[in-house]
Structure 1
Amino acid sequence: MTDLADAFVRLHARLAPVPLTPEIVLHQADEPIGLWELTEGQFRSEQPPPFWAFAWAGGQGLARYVLDNPSVVAGRRVLDVACGSGLVGIAAALSGAASVRAVDIDPLSIAAVSVNAAANGVTVTADLADILDGPADADVVLAGDVFYSQAFATRMFGFLRRARKAGADAYAGDPGRAFRPGAAGTEVASYEVPTTMALESVTTKQTSVWRLP
């Protein structure tokens, strides 16, 4: 299915710069509803919206932080968890990470990471897996816009906390989602991130990057 999924991504999402990180280009959809309907067929995902087709605000903020602070990832093994388009992992690769692994449960996300990494001239290993109940196996864990539901936020925060206890650094980009844990850590950066009315019902989202304690 890989070649077919790659072709689907290229057909339904056009390559364009990311608003907050214009040095990165991604295959992005113009609007979510039509693409959501398309993914109800052969490419139906367990995740209702096509997360891989948009540069979500939390991911943009985290990617900007990594690009502006390359020492966070330089020479280190990086994990981009619930990676969506692969934006954050690509930012890490561009910033000198020793290796970047991007993980998601959506096959189309894995395809998107592959074509997006190639478009930016970097190497990102993309894996289709649910790893939230296991170890991180990384030096740095990056999570962009992952607190959008109670159940997922709870699992993700537990994973990030375990990664920290095992010695990894962990960062989360979040635009004020309802389920961001109160103990998310130290805010290390804040950005006004351009977005669209179709995605967020606003044109900008105040987005923070948090370093877990």
Structure 2
Amino acid sequence: MNKLTNEISFGACLDMPDPGSRVEVDVEGRTWILDRAADMEALWDRMDADDMGDDERLPYWAEVWPASVLLGRHILRNADILAGRSCLDLGCGLGLTGMIASSIGADVVAFDYEWPAVRFARHNAELNNVPQPLWMLMDWRDPAVKAGAFDFIWGGDVLYEKRFFEPLIRLFRHALAPGGKIWIGEPVRTVSRPVWDELRDRGFAPKKITVEKVALCGQNPTVNLWEIHIT
């Protein structure tokens, strides 16, 4: 198979839902159905160095992460304050938290770095019969959103590499409205520990607001939820 044929084949596999890879996720009593092309490991096995590129674009978007489930719980628990408010979903993946927020009346912009994620997120919102968020293809290193536009910003498990700290801090400062809040769902990861002190040094006030177990796909990991605002 030549390189062009391989690229077309791999791109096609990302664009088609695989019924055998459908995931059902319970969040506060509602089951959300999430279609995807395949699970992350299966997609990873099909990739070569050219598919990953310089940014090591691994298909993390194809998984449902426990941190996003906890964020979904928190969004539902705060439905009264989110309805009608402008919200930014970082790294939307398959669309779980964006859909949950849209279902309770939030005005959601949700983005991912990978086109298949945006495509499947939109498909999943239709599948779950919720109003479509504004799905965007965007790199958080170069945010294409208006300054101070969002009352709430959230992301699930987005601090898994130190190289993301600086661009995310810049995005927070750029996009958060005065008095706004940031919610970060974070599994217990050693790599993310330094970011909280770094945020404090940069004029943010992070605090851990809950620690919960999240049952998902036969596992029950512990997840932290942080709330951050600008001091």
Would the TM-score normalized by the shorter structure come out above 0.5?
yes
Q: Deviations over 1:109-160 (max 9, x none)?
A: 1111111111111212211111444436222111111010000133213322
Aligned to 2:196: 182
CA RMSD of aligned residues (A): 3.0
Helix, strand or coil: the match of 1:157? helix
Q: Does 1:17 align with 2:31?
A: no
C-alpha distance in 1 between matches for 2:115 and 2:47: 11
Bigger relative CO (Cα 8 Å, ≥ 6 apart):
1
Q: Among residues 114, 118, 121, which one is paired with 1:110 in the alignment?
A: 118
Q: Among residues 149, 158, 162, which one is paired with 2:170 in the alignment?
A: 158
TM-score by length of structure 1 reads 0.80
Q: For residues 77-96 of structure 1, what are the structure 2 equivalents within 5 Å?
A: 77-96=86-105
Aligned to 2:181: 169
Pick closer, same or farther for the CA change 1:34–1:107 going to 2, 3 Å: same
Aligned to 2:203: none
Pick closer, same or farther for the CA change 1:137–1:7 going to 2, 3 Å: same
**Contact 2:93 2:121 (C-alpha < 8 Å) held by counterparts:** yes
Q: Which amino acid is the alignment partner of residue 212 of structure 2?
A: Y
Q: Sequence identity of aligned pairs in percent?
A: 25
Pick closer, same or farther for the CA change 1:165–1:69 going to 2, 3 Å: closer
Aligned to 2:5: none
Aligned to 1:205: 221
**Runs of 5+ unmatched residues, structure 1:** 198-202
**Contact 1:80 1:86 (C-alpha < 8 Å) held by counterparts:** no
Q: For residues 27-176 of structure 1, what are the structure 2 equivalents within 5 Å?
A: 27=35, 31-40=39-48, 46-97=55-106, 99-122=107-130, 123-134=132-143, 135=147, 137-164=149-176, 166-176=178-188
Q: Which amino acid is the alignment partner of residue 154 of structure 1?
A: E
**Contact 1:47 1:106 (C-alpha < 8 Å) held by counterparts:** no
Q: Among residues 215, 221, 227, which one is paired with 1:194 in the alignment?
A: 215
TM-score by length of structure 2 reads 0.75
Q: How many residues align?
A: 205
**Contact 1:100 1:125 (C-alpha < 8 Å) held by counterparts:** yes
**Aligned-pair CA distance for 1:19:** 4.3
